[in-house]
Homo-oligomer: A and B are copies of this chain.
Amino acid sequence: MPVFTEYSTSSRDLRVLPSFASPLPRLTPSFEPVGSEEKYEVLIAGAGPAGLFLQVLLARYGLSDKSLLCIDSKPTALKSGQADGLQPRTLEVLKSLGLADEILTEGCQMWEVAFWNPTQDKSGGIERTSIVPDVAVAARFPHEVTIHQGRIERILEDDLRRYSARGVQRSTRLTKVELDEAGDAEFPVLVEMEGPSGSRTVRTKHLVGADGAHSLVRRSMDFKLEGETSDFIWGVVDFVADTDFPDIRRRCAIHSDNGSVMVIPRERIATGEYLTRLYVHVQEEVKPDNDIASEEGIKGASKAEAKARREKITMESIFAQAQEVFKPYYIKPRRADAVDWWAAYQIGQRVSENFVKQDSKGVNRVFIVGDACHTHSPKAGQGMNVSMMDSYNLSWKLMHSLNGLSPITNSRDTILDTFETERLTIAKELIAFDKEFSAMFSGKIGAEGTEGLTHDQFLEVFSTGNGFTSGCGIEYPETSLVEKTIPQGLVTGSDYLSGVLKPGRRLLNVTVKRHADGYRRDLQDDFPSTGRYRLLILTSTDLLTQSSLSYTSLTHTSSILEAFPPGLIELVVLHPLPSNTFVWKDLPAAVRTYAEMSFYNGTELQDAYSVYGLAKEKGAMVVVRPDGYVGCLGELGEEGLAKVEGYLKGCLRAVGDEKGNGTSNGHS
């Protein structure tokens, strides 16, 4: 197309780059460190999946290198990580950040689980009992993905470097942490660290300990670990398998008379071959003797005894034990160099009694996330997921607090309080579930009269646990962020795992057709992780009548949206009418003004009303939190509008509300 006259704006050049997330507005004064001391608004200790993910999120929300420092004791990005499983909910969150594509394409998608048990005829050996879907609940991605943890960290770090010139400050180790309000009330967290150029002291408004199971931050804050005193010992090995076992590419729970093995298929590698991971139960229950237990004063075996026991476990012993379980099938590495990684571990379930330390004025100053909060077995595939979701939950609350976006109630930012309430609830549920799942998995199954469960009992725990193991079934308790009351008759059904709306649970994805352009779209794509709230309105069938509840409610949303700083609440609207039977001018002006590109036919492709448990004659208003969880449910009409507005005023500072806006972060 030879052009003979041409003009273009300079900003057009920018558009060749990947899109950047839009930063959150800041109502507090911008951060300008004064004095000679090194100061930050947020310091993150540890750049594993939890710490790195938090840094990525805060950087995307707009925290610059000046405000945000993340340190890690290791000299390079971790390449020897052993977590490898991403749950459907974690995939949804990564998708909401534009970070899921490589993982979905190049990871191993795990769609099915096979259960193997001792043969019915007691002839020895094992036989397949059943194959079931790996993810039994409704989810945008109805499978798990396994992929090398180092790769996930590389993907996160690639994204981080688009927002942060510094990235992670490596080879830098925390040596001391204390709260010193007397020294500086605004930057009360005093941190000492050692790096390549010696030791230094840093002050920060907030410190986040993402420093793992042995967390110095946790210990410095005197948070006690609560937990079990019994551990199991397992071996784990990643290799290219040579086997005649028929289900080597399925996730398998194998119970034999000779012990238990879990098979986790892994991704394809550069040779074109596929990895397999085995978890092999190599020793019966033992007393705890690992470092955490010792450090935390949990009574156990002596360090010398523990060391001796560990040394007995070798790669050969892991394969020998696995071979016993797989009989009559054979399994071995395809070649001598086909073993990629192996390890042995021993661990119980423990959770920190606190996740947050407040200063004397009640400001949340020190947080812990990830393994620093909770340790547990890897078999339910929870570790990296729950850790990253701790950071996901904390990130926007902390950012809203720093930017002065959250309201001040009784002189305090109560939104930030919900981090501990919500994540401690989940951690405790995780530990309880993992205890049950691990013990059950380590026990013998199918051998009548022994300590084991029957296969049917096992399958039941597996299935009911699926809401938890998928990450899609978790439910946050009532707080200022979760208003549990639902108007009588608004929601029908209680199959929350299949999408029926419930405050505290995540909004399930549905496929909808956009009015403006006919785009078949995933609704979750209108709920990106940018730190914004969304008002999701499902209109009723009366939408086209100007005096109707739908019409007047939509008109009134303008005043709700405008009561808060611009752009902090986005409008998404579904309707249940046939497509293309009306045009923009038949609708309330607010729809096109605020939702031109987020106004959908909610019934043509998938019946969103029925998935969400709503009646098309009634509709509903749903406030969705920045992390995709339902915060509040209201009816169309005045009462619902008032409820929604009241809920939002508990979450966000309204325009003109100047309370607490005097200090540098507006809240501390």
By a beta-carbon cutoff of 8 Å, the part of chain A in contact with chain B is 1-9, 11-20, 22, 77, 79-80, 82-83, 98, 101-102, 105-106, 109-112, 131, 133, 143, 148, 150-151, 153-154, 213, 244, 246, 248-250, 265, 267-270, 272, 274, 290-292, 310, 313, 315, 337, 339-347, 375, 377-378, 383, 514, 516-520, 580, 583-585, 596-597
* A586 and chain B: residue at smallest CB distance: B246
User: A315: shortest Cβ distance to chain B, in Å?
Assistant: 7
Contact A111 B246 (CB under 8 A): no
Pick from B98, B148, B268, B315: contact of A12, CB under 8 Å? B148
Q: Name the B residues within 8 Å of A8 (CB-CB).
A: 80, 340-342
Q: Contacts A79-B12, A82-B1, A270-B14 hold; do A315 and B516 have CB atoms under 8 A apart?
A: no
User: A330: shortest Cβ distance to chain B, in Å?
Assistant: 13
User: A247: shortest Cβ distance to chain B, in Å?
Assistant: 8
Q: Name the B residues within 8 Å of A267 (CB-CB).
A: 15
Contact A580 B131 (CB under 8 A): yes
Contact B109 A519 (CB under 8 A): yes
Q: List 10 A-B contacts (CB under 8 A).
A: A2-B290, A3-B82, A3-B345, A4-B290, A4-B344, A4-B346, A5-B344, A16-B77, A101-B102, A131-B580
A7 to B235, CA, bound (A): 12
Contact A18 B102 (CB under 8 A): yes
A82 to B520, CA, bound (A): 26
User: A463: shortest Cβ distance to chain B, in Å?
Assistant: 17
Contact B345 A377 (CB under 8 A): no
Pick from B274, B310, B343, B517: contact of A597, CB under 8 Å? B274
With A7-B315, A13-B79 already in contact, 15 other A-B pairs whose C-beta atoms are closer than 8 Å: A1-B83, A4-B290, A4-B310, A5-B313, A6-B342, A8-B342, A12-B80, A14-B270, A17-B151, A19-B270, A20-B270, A110-B517, A249-B514, A265-B517, A274-B597
Q: Name the B residues within 8 Å of A151 (CB-CB).
A: 15-17
A503 to B112, CA, bound (A): 36
Contact B79 A383 (CB under 8 A): no
Instruction: Report whether over half of chain A's contact residues are helix, strand or loop; otherwise say mixed.
Output: mixed
A82 to B342, CA, bound (A): 53
Contact A517 B342 (CB under 8 A): no
A12 to B271, CA, bound (A): 12
Contact B148 A377 (CB under 8 A): no
Residue of A270, A377, A517 with most partner-chain B CB within 10 A: A517
* A310 and chain B: residue at smallest CB distance: B4
Q: Contacts A15-B150, A19-B270 hold; do A9 and B246 have CB atoms under 8 A apart?
A: no
* A76 and chain B: residue at smallest CB distance: B13
User: A67: shortest Cβ distance to chain B, in Å?
Assistant: 22
Pick from B4, B143, B249, B310: contact of A516, CB under 8 Å? B249
* A111 and chain B: residue at smallest CB distance: B518
Contact B2 A347 (CB under 8 A): yes
User: A128: shortest Cβ distance to chain B, in Å?
Assistant: 9
Q: Contacts A3-B343, A341-B8 hold; do A17 and B154 have CB atoms under 8 A apart?
A: yes
A17 to B152, CA, bound (A): 10
A8 to B340, CA, bound (A): 6
User: A270: shortest Cβ distance to chain B, in Å?
Assistant: 7
